[in-house]
Amino acid sequence: EVLALLVLTSPLLWGLALQLHSAVTGSYVPGTHSIALVTCLNEQIARDIARAIMDKRLAAYVNILPKSSALYFWKGELEESTEILLLVKTRTSKIGELSNYIRSIHPFEIPDIVSLPIDQGNPLFLRWIGENVPRD
């Protein structure tokens, strides 16, 4: 009972237990990987950021989606612009490092970076992400 309680309350041990379960059963552990959404001013900036992310091996895959319209408040004023969206597929454990790196190279004063855990997906694709993004 004490060992089970320790595993359940320790994030590190819990993570190791989930990895072991996944390895033994071949099942995907929801939340192991994430998609980060990053907005960029134009396509060149989006490509530069995507390339930099890939060069650092912070992601396995980056989609660059075409222009979209955006409405947002900036310094008390309603703004409207067009942006390019990056969909960055990576390990959830890399989101903090990925976010810090993007903030260091992004031209926006406050870059729009959010992430969502992947609950389910093609097991072969999810395994591929894990194979292409080094563990911490």
Q: Is there a single domain that holds both residue 23 and residue 43?
A: no
69: left (phi over 0), alpha (psi -120 to 50) or beta: beta
Distance CA(86)–CA(46), nearest Å, equals 7
Q: Is there a single domain that holds both residue 82 and residue 121?
A: yes
- What domain range includes position 91? 31-132
For the beta carbon of residue 96, count every other beta carbon within 10 angstroms: 11
Give me the CATH number covering residue 56: 3.30.70.120
Distance CA(86)–CA(39), nearest Å, equals 6
Structural domains of the chain, count: 2
Q: Is there a single domain that holds both residue 65 and residue 104?
A: yes
Distance CA(99)–CA(102), nearest Å, equals 5
Q: Which of 70, 73, 50 is nearest to 62 (CA)?
A: 50
Structural tokens at position 119: 């609950």
Contact 129, 34 (CB under 8 A): no
Taking only the tens place, the pLDDT of each residue in 91-133 is 999 999 999 999 999 999 999 999 999 999 999 999 999 999 9
Q: Is there a single domain that holds both residue 89 and residue 40?
A: yes
Q: Is there a single domain that holds both residue 37 and residue 94?
A: yes
Instruction: Give the predicted TM-score (pTM) of the model.
Output: 0.81
Sheet holding 113-117, edge to edge: 61-74, 77-91, 33-40, 113-117
Q: Is there a single domain that holds both residue 52 and residue 22?
A: no
Q: Using only C-alpha atoms, what is the Rg of the chain?
A: 18
Average the pLDDT over 44-62 and give the result.
98
Q: Is there a single domain that holds both residue 35 and residue 18?
A: no
Residue 3 predicted with pLDDT over 90? no
Q: Is there a single domain that holds both residue 75 and residue 52?
A: yes
Q: Is there a single domain that holds both residue 68 and residue 111?
A: yes
- Confidence (pLDDT) at 2: 56
